[in-house]
C-alpha cells in the first residue's frame, strides 16, 4: 500500500479517534469540575507533567530505533526487524526500572512542591502519585511493540486501540464520579482499564507479528548498534531540553502560585491540545511516510513534499490560533463555566503564539526524525530548556502567570529560526531563505485576519450566547480560509493539494455512479 494511501488511512482513523477523545474528555472534565474541585484538577495536571519529566529516562531511544526500522521494514527484512525489536524491548524494560526507582525517590519531595493542597492530605497525595507512576512504568512493557506497526505506516492500529480504551475508561470514570464522588476511585478506574489495554496489546501484537516471538534472533553488528547509540546520545540532549521547556510550566506555577491555578490554566490548554491533536493527525500520519520518502526519493521530491506538509500545517495552525484567540475565553468563562475560571488575555495570547509556532516546529521535527538528523542540533534543546527555566522563573516572580509563557515562547522560537537552516542544508542542499520568506507570508495573513476580526467580534458578540458564538465561528471560518485561499491559491503547494482533492472527488463520483448503475 502506497504512502498516500497509508497516510489517508492513518488520518481517517486519527480524526475519528480525536473527535471521540475530545467529546469524551470534555464530558469527563465537566463532570470532574462539577463533582470535585480545582485543587484535585490541578493535582491531576501536575502529576501528569511530573511523570512527563520522569519519562526523560526514555532519552530518545524510541526515536532512534524507529528510524533504524524504516529500512528493514521497506526491505521486508524480518531477521533484521527481529534484531532491532529485541534491542528495543530490552532497552524499554531497563527504562521502566529506572523510572520506577527515580519516581519512588521523588516521593519525599512532594510536600515541598505542593505547598497549598487545600484539604488533600499528604498521604493522599502520595497514593495518587504512586498510581500515576504505575501507569507510566507499565506503559514501557508494551510500548516497543507499537514501533513496528508505526514503521509500516500502520499507526491507525495504535490509534484505534487508544480510542476504544479511552471511551471505556472515560465512561467508567464518569460513573465513578457521579456515584462515588471519589478521586482515588477515579484514578484506580483509569489504571485498571489501561492495564487491561496493555495486556490486550501484548497478545494482539504477538499474533500480528508471530515471528517476533522467535527465540532465534541474531545480534546486531557493531556498526548497526553504533548508529543507534550515536543517535540516542544526540537525542539525550533533545529529550533533556524538551522536558525542561515543555513539562515544567505546571511545576513552576504550582511552586510559585498554587496547584489550583494549574487546573484553571489546564482548561485552556485542554482545548488547545485537542485542536493540536486534530492537526497533528495529518502531520504524525506522514512521519513514517517521510522516512520512506527520504530513503527512496530525490532531494527535489523531498523538498516539494516538505513544503506541501508545511503549507497544510501553517494553514491549519493559523486557523486554530485565530479562532481561539478570539473565542477561547468566552467559550470557557461564559458558555462552559464562569468568570472565575478565566485567565488574562495576555496569557491567552502568549499560549497561542507558542501554539502557532509549535506547529512550524512540528513539521521540522517530524522531518528531522524521518531523516535521522539527531546530531546536528543536539545542543539546541538544552539551551532552550535553560532559557525557558530562567525566563519562566524570573517572569512569574515579576509579572505573574504571563511570565511563565514568556519563557515558553522565547525558548520555542529559537528552534523556529535554527532548525530550518539545518534541515535545508543537510536534507535539501539549499538555502533556507525561501522557508523564512514563506513563514512571514503565512504569519502576515494570520495576524491580519486576527486583527480584522476584532471589531467584527465586538459587533456580533455584544451578548455572548450559543447563537452568537456559533455565528462568530462561521464568520472566522469563512474569512480566514477565504483569505488564505486568495493569497496562496496560485502556489505549487495549493495546486498539489487541489489536484489531490479533485482526483479523490473524481474517484468518489465514478464509484457512486458505478454503484448507482449496478456496476
372-396 confidence digits (pLDDT tens): 776 788 788 888 888 999 999 999 9
Assess whether pLDDT exceeds 60 at residue 95: yes
| Residue 64: predicted pLDDT | 61
Assess whether pLDDT exceeds 70 at residue 300: yes
Torsion of CA 311, 316, 319, 322, to 10 degrees: -90
Q: How far apart are CA 441 and CA 483, in angstroms?
A: 12
Structure-model confidence comparison of residues 364 and 517, the more confident one: 364
Assess whether pLDDT exceeds 50 at residue 511: no
User: Percentage of the chain surpassing pLDDT 70?
Assistant: 85
Radius of gyration over alpha carbons of the chain, in Å? 24
| Residue 326: predicted pLDDT | 97
DSSP character for 432?
A: S
| Residue 22: predicted pLDDT | 85
Q: How far apart are CA 388 and CA 382, in angstroms?
A: 10
DSSP character for 491?
A: S
Q: How far apart are CA 50 and CA 42, in angstroms?
A: 12
C-alpha cell at 71: 529500512
Helices (H) and strands (E) in the chain, counts: 20, 0
Nearest in space to 249 (alpha carbons), one of 409, 119, 126: 409
Structure-model confidence comparison of residues 344 and 226, the more confident one: 344
Q: What is the mean pLDDT of residues 184-198?
A: 93
Q: How far apart are CA 503 and CA 505, in angstroms?
A: 6
Q: pLDDT grade, residue 57 (50/70/90)? A: very low
Nearest in space to 311 (alpha carbons), one of 445, 221, 177: 445
* 299 within 8 A of 429, measured Cβ to Cβ: yes
Site of grid cell 512521519: 287
Q: How far apart are CA 418 and CA 425, in angstroms?
A: 11
| Residue 510: predicted pLDDT | 57
| Residue 160: predicted pLDDT | 84
| Residue 228: predicted pLDDT | 72
| Residue 54: predicted pLDDT | 66
Q: How far apart are CA 153 and CA 201, in angstroms?
A: 18
Nearest in space to 29 (alpha carbons), one of 173, 135, 130, 139: 173
Structure-model confidence comparison of residues 285 and 267, the more confident one: 267
Dihedrals phi, psi of 45, to nearest 5 degrees? -70, -40
State the first-to-last Cα distance of the chain, in angstroms, to the nearest integer.
25
Residue 130's CB: how many other CB atoms inside 10 A?
A: 14
| Residue 285: predicted pLDDT | 53
**Over the chain, what is the mean pLDDT?**
84
* 292 within 8 A of 73, measured Cβ to Cβ: no
Amino acid at each position: 500500500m502506497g504512502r498516500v494511501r497509508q497516510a489517508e488511512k492513518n488520518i481517517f482513523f486519527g480524526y475519528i479517534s480525536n473527535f471521540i477523545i475530545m467529546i469524551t474528555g470534555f464530558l469527563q472534565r465537566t463532570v470532574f469540575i462539577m463533582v470535585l474541585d480545582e485543587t484535585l484538577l490541578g493535582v491531576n495536571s501536575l502529576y501528569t507533567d511530573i511523570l512527563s519529566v520522569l519519562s526523560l529516562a526514555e532519552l530518545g531511544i524510541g526515536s532512534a530505533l524507529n528510524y533504524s526500522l524504516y529500512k528493514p521494514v521497506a526491505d521486508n527484512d524480518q531477521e533484521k526487524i527481529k534484531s532491532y525489536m529485541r534491542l528495543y524491548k530490552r532497552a524499554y524494560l531497563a527504562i521502566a526500572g529506572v523510572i520506577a526507582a527515580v519516581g519512588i525517590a521523588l516521593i519525599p519531595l512532594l510536600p515541598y512542591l505542593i505547598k497549598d493542597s487545600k484539604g488533600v492530605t499528604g498521604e493522599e497525595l502520595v497514593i495518587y502519585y504512586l498510581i500515576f507512576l504505575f501507569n507510566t512504568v507499565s506503559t514501557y512493557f508494551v510500548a516497543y511493540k507499537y514501533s513496528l506497526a508505526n514503521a509500516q505506516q500502520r499507526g491507525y492500529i495504535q490509534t484505534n486501540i487508544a480510542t476504544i480504551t479511552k471511551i471505556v475508561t472515560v465512561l467508567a470514570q464518569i460513573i465513578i464520579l457521579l456515584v462515588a464522588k471519589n478521586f482515588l476511585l477515579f484514578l484506580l478506574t483509569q489504571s485498571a482499564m489501561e492495564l487491561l489495554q496493555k495486556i490486550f496489546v501484548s497478545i494482539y501484537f504477538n499474533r500480528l507479528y508471530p515471528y517476533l516471538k522467535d527465540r532465534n534472533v541474531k545480534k546486531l553488528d557493531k556498526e548497526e548498534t553504533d548508529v543507534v547509540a550515536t543517535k540516542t546520545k544526540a537525542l539525550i540532549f533533545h529529550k533533556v531540553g524538551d522536558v525542561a521547556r515543555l513539562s515544567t510550566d505546571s511545576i513552576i506555577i504550582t511552586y510559585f502560585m498554587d496547584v489550583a491555578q494549574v487546573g484553571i490554566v489546564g482548561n485552556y490548554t485542554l482545548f488547545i491540545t485537542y485542536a493540536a491533536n486534530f492537526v497533528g493527525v495529518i502531520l504524525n500520519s506522514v512521519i513514517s511516510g517521510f522516512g520512506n520518502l527520504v530513503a527512496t526519493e530525490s532531494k527535489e521530491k523531498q523538498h516539494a513534499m516538505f513544503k506541501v506538509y508545511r503549507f497544510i500545517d501553517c494553514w491549519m495552525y493559523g486557523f486554530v490560533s485565530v479562532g481561539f484567540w478570539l473565542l477561547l475565553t468566552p467559550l470557557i468563562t461564559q458558555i462552559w463555566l464562569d468568570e472565575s475560571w478565566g485567565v488574562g488575555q495576555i496569557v491567552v495570547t502568549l499560549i497561542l503564539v507558542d501554539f502557532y509556532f509549535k506547529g512550524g516546529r512540528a513539521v521540522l521535527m517530524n522531518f528531522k526524525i524521518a531523516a535521522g538528523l539527531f546530531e546536528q542540533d543536539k545542543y539546541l534543546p538544552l539551551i532552550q530548556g535553560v532559557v525557558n527555566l530562567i525566563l519562566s522563573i524570573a517572569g512569574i516572580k515579576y509579572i505573574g502567570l504571563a511570565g511563565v509563557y514568556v519563557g515558553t515562547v522565547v525558548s520555542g522560537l529559537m528552534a523556529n529560526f535554527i532548525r530550518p537552516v539545518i534541515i535545508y542544508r543537510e536534507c535539501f542542499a539549499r538555502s533556507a531563505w525561501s522557508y523564512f520568506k514563506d513563514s512571514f507570508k503565512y504569519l502576515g495573513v494570520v495576524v491580519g485576519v486576527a486583527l480584522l476580526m476584532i471589531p467584527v467580534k465586538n459587533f456580533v458578540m455584544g451578548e455572548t450566547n450559543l447563537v452568537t458564538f456559533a455565528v462568530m465561528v462561521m464568520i472566522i471560518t469563512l474569512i480566514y480560509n477565504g483569505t488564505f485561499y486568495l493569497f496562496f491559491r496560485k502556489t505549487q503547494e495549493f495546486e498539489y493539494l487541489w489536484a489531490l482533492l479533485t482526483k479523490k472527488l473524481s474517484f468518489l463520483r465514478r464509484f457512486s455512479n458505478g454503484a448507482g448503475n449496478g456496476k
